Amino acid sequence: MKYFSPEAETLSQDAVKALQNQRLQAIVQYVLKHNDYYRKKYADAGLSDAGSVRSLDQLPLLPTISKEDFRKTYPFGMCCVPQSELREMHQSSGSTGTPVVMLYTAEDLEQWAECMARCYVMAGAEPGDAIQITPSFGLFNGGFGMYHGARKAGLFIVPTGSGNTERQVRIAKDFNTRIFTGVVSYAVRVLEVMREMKVTLPPLKIGVFGAESFSEGMRQRIESELGITAFDIYGMTETGGVGTLGQDCPLRCGLHVWEDHYIVEVLDPATGKVLPDGETGEVTITSLTRKALPVIRFRTGDLSKIVSREKCACGRTHLRIAPITGRTDDMLIIKGVNFFPKQVENALLEIPGVLTQYQIIIEEVHGVKDIRINVEAEEGVSGYMVEKHLKERLGFSPKGDVFRPGTLPRQEGKAQRVFYKN
C-alpha cells in the first residue's frame, strides 16, 4: 500500500488526538485574535473565555456555524488575514442567495494540494499518470482543487474542464488518460458517448468523483461498464474545497478523514448534541490548519456516521465515516414516508435492465405532494416492475414512466435528479 505522506497518514490514534488537542487550542486562539466575527459570536454565546478551550472534550462548548454565517459576512467578514496575503478564492454558485466564499493564502493552497495528493495516491495514482480534470476551472473549486493536488502528486495534467463530451473522449484516447475526475453523473454521460463513438479507453483505470453523492449501485455500474475503480472524494467550499476532508480507500470501508487537518463531529440535526459513533447525524467540521478562513464547528448539512476509529487494513489510522447518505435539506416526505434521492437511485439500479438516467418529479396539487419517477430502461422493463420494486424498497407506489435509452434530458456536468412541479 502506498501513501503520499506515510508518517501523517499512519499516526496512531493517540498521536492524532494529541495533535488535534494542540491544533484546536491554537486555531481557537487564532480566530479570536484575528477575526471580529468569531469574537462577537463567542461573546454573544456567553463564552468570554472561549480561548481557554484546550481539548477535544471542550469543543462542544463552542457554538456551531453554518452557511448562513458565510452569507452574513460575505465576502471578507470571516477572513483572518489582510487581503494582501490572499492568493486565490472560490465560491458556491449562490443559486439560493448570497454565495459562500472560501479564501486562500499560499499556505492554504499548499494544505489543499497535500490533502488532494493523499487522495490520489490512495486511489492508486502514480507519478506521471495522465489525469483528466473535467470540472470547470472557475469560481467552483472542483477544477482548481483537482489541479493543485495533481501537481503536488506529480501527475500529467490534462485540464479539459467541463463540457464537449466527444472531445473529452478523444482527448482521453489520445493522451492515454489513466485517471478521470469529475462528478459521477458526468461519467455516465462519457460512457454513453463512448458507446456512440465506438471508442474504448484501455488505459483508464481510476475514477475520482466528488460534488454529488452516489449510491453503491451507481458505483458498481460505473466500475463495471467503464472498467475502472471509482473513488468517492469528500470536501466542500467551506472546508477549503474538494478532497480536503478525505476519500475512501480501495477496501471500501468508509471515507478516510484527514484528522491531522480536520476534526469531525456528528451532531443530532434537531438538538445539535454530539452523537456517539455509529449513529447517523449531521457531519460537523473544524479545520485545524487553515489560515485565511478557518471554520470551527461548521455544520455541513451532510448526513453520515463514524464507522470506525480503528486502523484500516490499508494501514491508514484516521477515523472513517460512512459515505454521505443525503443532506438534512434534501429529505423528501411523500405520503408519510421519509426518504432521500440516493435511496431511490439504489432501488432503481437493483432492477435488471434499468439504466442510470432517471428523474424524481415532486408534484403538489392543493397542498398534497405526490411523486413521479421516470427512468430509462432496456426493452422488457415495464412500469409495473419499477413500481413494484420501489414499493417493496421505499414503502409507497410512485407514478412514473419507462423511457427508451437516451431519451431523458442530459446535463454535461452535475446531474439534476429532483424536479418540482406545481
Give the mean model confidence (pLDDT) for residues 2-27: 97
- Residues 282, 386 within the same domain: no
Number of domains in the chain: 2
Q: Which domain holds residue 394?
A: 332-421
In order of 67, 69, 92, 95, 285, the CA distances from 98 in angstroms are 10, 11, 9, 8, 22
Which of 324, 355, 375 terminates a domain? The answer is: 324
How high is the pLDDT of residue 385? 86
- Residues 320, 403 within the same domain: no
Question: What is residue 413's DSSP assignment?
Answer: S
Neighbours of 256 (CB within 10 A): 25
- Residues 336, 320 within the same domain: no
- Residues 382, 308 within the same domain: no
Cis preceding linkage at 75, omega within 30: yes
- Residues 315, 371 within the same domain: no
- Residues 223, 370 within the same domain: no
Which of 292, 324, 356 terminates a domain? The answer is: 324
Give the mean model confidence (pLDDT) for residues 203-212: 92
Question: What is residue 162's DSSP assignment?
Answer: S
- Residues 318, 398 within the same domain: no
pLDDT in tens, 357-397: 888 888 776 566 778 888 888 888 888 888 888 888 877 77
Give the pLDDT band (50/70/90) at residue 194.
very high
Q: Is the pLDDT of residue 212 over 80?
A: no
Give the pLDDT band (50/70/90) at residue 96.
low
- Residues 318, 336 within the same domain: no
Under a CB-based contact definition with an 8 Å cutoff, are residues 201 and 173 in contact? yes
Q: Is the pLDDT of residue 336 over 70?
A: no
DSSP-assigned letters across all residues of 283-346: EEEEESS-SSS--SSEEEEEEE-EEE-SPPTTS--S-EEPPP-EETT--EEETTEEE-HHHHHH
How high is the pLDDT of residue 367? 62
CATH number at residue 348: 3.30.300.30
- Residues 297, 191 within the same domain: yes
Q: CA-CA distance, 69 to 298, in Å (whole number)?
A: 10
CATH number at residue 197: 3.40.50.12780
How high is the pLDDT of residue 393? 81
How high is the pLDDT of residue 269? 94
pLDDT in tens, 32-50: 999 999 999 999 998 878 7
What percentage of the chain carries pLDDT values higher than 70? 95
Which of 291, 324, 357 terminates a domain? The answer is: 324
- Residues 208, 281 within the same domain: yes
136-140, 207-211, 305-309, 380-384: which is most confident: 305-309
What percentage of the chain carries pLDDT values higher than 90? 66
How high is the pLDDT of residue 368? 66
